[in-house]
A and B are shown apart, each in its own frame.
Chain A
Amino acid sequence: MTRLSSAFSRGPSLVCFITAGDGDTAANLGALVEGGADVIELGMPFTDPMADGPAIQKANLRSLGAGTTTADIFSMAAAFRARHPQVPLVLMGYANPMTIRGADWFAAQCVKAGVDGVICVDIPPEEDPELGPALRGAGVALIRLATPTTDAARLPAVLDGSSGFLYYVSVAGITGMQQAAIGTIDANVSRIKQSTDLPIAVGFGVRTPEQAAEIAKLADGVVVGSALVELVGEHGKAAPGPLRDLTKALADAVHGAR
């Protein structure tokens, strides 16, 4: 069992996203774990985060403005792995920072830092050779996104080569905006479940414990990002307390569905 499959085997899981290098990342990650996050997504900042809404855009700018480098991000990941040997850690970001030194370099760094999986927003299955083979070869999960526009004809291509879990984007849009109607999410998740045994985590627009509880009834995981990132933006170095509190409320809601 991998760290990821082990986490999802315990029942509906809470997946928490924050941006690396935004505030005190080590303390923020610690707060997420203390609050009960089952899986951590660590965002790699990028100058041009075109799939992200205002909250995560600003977090990217804060992080890059503070001088965060790719080497720093892998140091943060490695330090997290040393402190939390069991909690799965996934890097999420954009193609250019992941591939600029070559996919093999990136995959090797992931292995070295104890990163369990990678979500790349702008490498669809059609461009899989850019990153997929290197990650699979290194035993790092390639977590793909499926969306409301991923129809039945296309779904097999998305699932082919996916591992870890499948990230279902609940709305056609950017991060941190409106959530889709629960009925629509239910229908899409049920449809996808017929085609894969991978755990399915639902994200984009999930902000409150109430929303998280509803989604946890029909999916294997609930992803919360912008709401946490906003706390880092608001509280800066003092973010760990509020982060832990929100994470705990979300985790209680998600785990309540177990």
Chain B
Amino acid sequence: MNDIPNTFRNQPDERGHFGQFGGRYVAETLMPLVLELEKEYRRAKADPAFQAEFDDLLEHYVGRPSPLYFAPRLTAEFGGAQVWFKRDELNHTGAHKINNCIGQILLAIRMGKTRIIAETGAGQHGVATATVCARFGLPCVIYMGATDVARQQPNVFRMKLLGAEVIPVTSGAKTLKDAMNEALRDWVANVHDTFYIIGTAAGPHPYPELVRDFQSVIGKEARAQMLERTGRLPDLLVAAIGGGSNAIGLFHPFLDDPDVRMLGVEAAGHGLDKQHAASLAGGRPGILHGNKTYLLQDEDGQIAEAHSISAGLDYPGIGPEHSWLKEIGRVEYTSVTDDEALSAFQLLCRTEGIIPALEPSHAIAAVAKVAPTMPKDSIICANLCGRGDKDIFTVAEHLGVAI
């Protein structure tokens, strides 16, 4: 038995823990449902028909596989490693979020649930959830902080067009964290018929695991595409991290490839010494929203307000598997400020003709720092997890342009 290789891909344990992180810190009312979800997910995972339906929808509805693209002008600009992008911004609805929503709504249907709820920050997960609800004819309620409703009107309108009810949340700071609290309050009152589609690889077990598994299509494709195109694996993977679902989706299939380094990029907002959303860099372990993970908090365990120019990264926590990967040292984590992300956003527009979302703009900013230090025959694969159409108003405002 000693010859079983060590692996970074056998987490979480049977109690949903990634090392000391993860777990199921939920109210007793939700616990039986969380256990039932885990059982049903095990059954679905073992059911070829479930996988076949998931794959079919990803291919014909979402538009997968997404391309793996070599960025020649950006590579020349940096003058170091070759820069490649996994183009998940080309998915239906414009981001990686839809991969997970397809998987979860299939689970909801398997469990006989007839009503879907979700939280959203920028509205990308809300739009993806409203999309799959329209596709499968299920009523959909989206909780969104009132502050975010005001600053993300186009996505609010999209969700409504798709038939979702958008409920502005006025508690707390009226952003993503409060939307998640309110979604949990809805869930606890409607456990019998409602499925909660969580948008990132966080929350109570089994959510971090199942969201990771659904998003791992990103890394599985990227690995096969890279081998086919270059005959080798990349030297470095780079992805932005809010909750961390696009990053874990890219990283996980490569975790046991010892020569592949990985870099997760948190949002440093105005700077790590000011308001930011970098839970790993500026937080410490705690318990929130069903899991133990790194959180931005004060010495009494009160949760701090996060800040990022990117609403999708504006959350004071991070998925528990990232906390574990940081502690064991398998993945490196860094952070990028609002200003650096804005510069990277504009750079990609001009060099490659791609308008990225502000979330992957953080990954691109990190690539800008590391690529020049690497040899020209080395390969970086960054996840372009969303497109920037939703962000042009925010960017214009920051550049002082009236549109």
**Taking CB as reference atom, which chain B residue is nearest A144?**
B28
Q: Mark B3-34, 1 if CB is under 8 A from A, else 0.
A: 00000000000010000000111111111110
Contact of A145 among B27, B32, B171, B290 (CB under 8 A): B27
Interface residues on B, range: 35 or more
Contact of A149 among B24, B32, B185 (CB under 8 A): B32
CA distance A172 to B32 in the complex (A): 12
B287 located at the interface, meaning its Cβ lies under 8 Å from any Cβ of chain A in the complex: yes
Contact of A126 among B31, B177, B178, B189 (CB under 8 A): B31
**Contact between B300 and A51 (Cβ–Cβ < 8 Å)?**
no
B184 located at the interface, meaning its Cβ lies under 8 Å from any Cβ of chain A in the complex: yes
A30 located at the interface, meaning its Cβ lies under 8 Å from any Cβ of chain B in the complex: no
Taking the closest CB of chain B, its distance from the CB of A246, in whole angstroms, is 25
Q: At the interface, is chain A mostly helix, strand, loop or mixed? A: loop
Contact of B185 among A51, A144, A146, A151 (CB under 8 A): A51
A69 located at the interface, meaning its Cβ lies under 8 Å from any Cβ of chain B in the complex: yes
**Contact between A126 and B15 (Cβ–Cβ < 8 Å)?**
yes
| A100-B299, A127-B24, A174-B185 known; A50 vs B29 contact (CB < 8 Å) | no
**Contact between B23 and A127 (Cβ–Cβ < 8 Å)?**
yes
**Contact between B301 and A100 (Cβ–Cβ < 8 Å)?**
yes
**Contact between B297 and A96 (Cβ–Cβ < 8 Å)?**
yes
**Contact between B26 and A124 (Cβ–Cβ < 8 Å)?**
yes
**Contact between B28 and A100 (Cβ–Cβ < 8 Å)?**
no
How many residues of chain A have a CB within 8 Å of chain B?
Answer: 43
**B-contacting residues of A (Cβ < 8 Å)?**
46-51, 53-54, 57, 61, 64, 69-70, 94-100, 121-124, 126-127, 130, 144-151, 154, 158, 169, 171-174, 177
- 24 A–B contacts from the bound complex (CB under 8 Å): A47-B302, A48-B172, A48-B177, A48-B178, A48-B289, A49-B181, A61-B172, A64-B302, A96-B286, A96-B301, A97-B302, A99-B286, A100-B286, A121-B27, A122-B26, A124-B28, A126-B31, A145-B27, A149-B28, A154-B31, A172-B29, A172-B190, A174-B188, A177-B189
**A-contacting residues of B (Cβ < 8 Å)?**
15, 23-33, 171-172, 177-178, 180-181, 184-185, 188-192, 286-290, 292, 295, 297, 299-303
